Structure 1
C-alpha cells in the first residue's frame, strides 16, 4: 500500500503534517499534493482536539515548489491557454494560502531542508518558522522567468517588510538558515536532528493553553492585519466578552488563585 502524499498525525493536541513525496523533494505540483494538503488542513480546522499544527517535509527537502519539468514540457496545467492557466492557479495552488490563512490554529513550519519557490512561500504562510541548520530558502521565481503566483509576495511583505521582500524577490537568490535567522524569517535555527523535537516543544507550549482561546487569539491576529484601530477594538471587545464566559477562563482563574496547574476542557 502506498503511503499518503500528505501524512497527518495528531497527538497531545498537536497536529503534525508531513509532505510525503521525498523522492521528488515534496513538490506541490505534478502530483496530488495540493488536494491532499487542502484535505488535511480541513481536517485540522474541524478537529476540536487540535490546538496547533506543525508542517514539515519528509526526506531531505521541505518543499521543492513547482514541478520544473512539467513547466518545461508544457504538461499538466502549464500547456493550457493563458486564461486556463490563470484558472488553474486560482482553483489549484492559490487555495493553499487561503486555507492556511483561514486556519484558526497556530501553524509552525519545521523547515528540514530546501524550501524553494512555492515551498519558500509555504513557510511564509505559516505563523512561525523553525529551521534546521540544513534549511535553505529561495524566492527563486524570477530565475525561471515567472513570478510568485501563489500569494508569496503578499506573505513575504508582511513577514519581512517591503525592502527585504523586494531584495529576495528581485535577486531570486538562495539563503541559508543562518541568514534566514538574521532576517527574522525564522524564530530559531537548531541542529538538524533536533528540529522536530524543538518544533513539537514549541507547539506543546501552545497546546497547553485553553483551546478555544488559542483559536480566538489567532483570529484576532488576523483581524489586526487588515482592520483599522476603531473596528479592531470593537472586534477585540466582542471576542473578549465571549472569552470571559468560557469554562476554561474560570478554570484558569481558579488555578492561578489556588497555585496549581490548570486543566482545560475546551469549553
Structure 2
C-alpha cells in the first residue's frame, strides 16, 4: 500500500477509511487495474475481522466524478471495443465494483466531500449511510453524455428517494445540492465541510462499538429485507437471533447493561 494507490486503506482501530485517490481526475473511475484494486480492498474489509465499519470518501475537492469522459471520447481502456466487448467490460469492471461495495459485510458510510456525479453518485448510494459536507452535490447525468446508468443505479436510487424523484434526476441530469439531498432522503445529514471527516469518524466509531459479529448479521438482515418476503426474513431473523444469544458478546452486553457501563466486545 502506497500513497499513490488509486484507493487508500487507512485504518484507525476498528474503522477503515477507503479514500479514492485520484484528485487530478476528480476521482473518476479509471483503468481495469485501478478498479481491481478497489474491489480487492472491499474484499479485504470482509476478510479482516478487526474491521467493524468502513468510511468511503474522496481525496481533494470531489467525492467522485464518475466515468472518465476523456476515455469515453477516445474509446480506450475499459471503454474500447465493439458493443459485445463493452458489455462484458462493464460487467467485469463498473458492475463488479458496485457489487463489491454493496457486499461489504460491515456498515459503510459515504462521507461525501464534494461533487458525486454519475457513477460517483452511484458509489455513494451503495453505502448504507451517507453524510454530506455542505459543498457536496449530486447528479446522475448519464443522459447528458448520451448514456444509460450502467452501474445499477436504476435499481438502487428509486429505493432511496422514491421513483418520481429518481426519474426526475435521471431524466434531467440536474444537479442537486446537499440540502436538497438531505430533504429528499439521499443523505441523512449535512455538516460543515471542515467537520465532515470528524463527523464520519465519530459516527463510524459509534457503530464500531457494537458487538462485531452481530453487527454483520444485522447488516445481512437489512440486505435480505430488501428482496426477500417478510416470512423469509422472519425465519432468518430467528436463526440469527439463536446464534446471537449464544455469543460471549451477548453475555457481555447484558453484564454491561446491569453494571451501567459500556460493553467491551471481542467478536466471540
Deviates more, 1:255-264 or 1:202-211: 255-264
Q: Which residue of 2 aligns with 1:35?
A: 36
Q: Which residue of 1 aligns with 2:48?
A: 47
Does 1:131 pair with 2:106? no
Cα shift at 1:79: 2.9
Partner Cα distance (1:159, 1:171) in 2: 18
Cα shift at 1:160: 1.0
Q: Which residue of 2 aligns with 1:217?
A: 218
Aligned residues, how many? Answer: 267
Q: Which residue of 2 aligns with 1:111?
A: 112
Q: Which residue of 2 aligns with 1:181?
A: 182
SS at match of 1:110: strand
Does 1:227 pair with 2:190? no
SS at match of 1:77: helix
Cα shift at 1:27: 0.7
For structure 1, the 5+ residue unaligned runs are: none
Q: Which residue of 2 aligns with 1:170?
A: 171
Cα shift at 1:259: 1.7
Deviations 1:129-187 (A, max 9, x none): 00010111110000001011011111101111111111111011111111111111111
- Is 1:12–1:207's contact at 8 Å kept on the other side of the alignment? no
TM-score, normalised via structure 2 length: 0.97
Cα shift at 1:119: 0.2
Deviations 1:53-78 (A, max 9, x none): 00000000110100101111122232
Does 1:13 pair with 2:11? no
Deviates more, 1:119-128 or 1:1-10: 1-10
Residues 60/32 of structure 1: CA separation in 2 closer, same or farther (3 Å cut)? farther
Cα shift at 1:12: 2.1
Does 1:26 pair with 2:10? no
SS at match of 1:9: strand
TM-score, normalised via structure 1 length: 0.97
Partner Cα distance (1:98, 1:218) in 2: 15
SS at match of 1:63: coil
Say what the alpha-carbon RMSD is for the aligned residues: 1.2
SS at match of 1:54: strand
SS at match of 1:226: coil
Q: Which residue of 2 aligns with 1:98?
A: 99
SS at match of 2:41: helix
Q: Which residue of 2 aligns with 1:145?
A: 146
Deviates more, 1:251-260 or 1:109-118: 251-260
Partner Cα distance (2:128, 2:223) in 1: 10
- Please give the residue correspondences for 1:47-86 in structure 2 after superposition, counting only pairs within 5 Å: 47-86=48-87
Residues 263/79 of structure 1: CA separation in 2 closer, same or farther (3 Å cut)? closer
Cα shift at 1:33: 2.8
Deviations 1:97-154 (A, max 9, x none): 2112221100000000111100011100000100010111110000001011011111
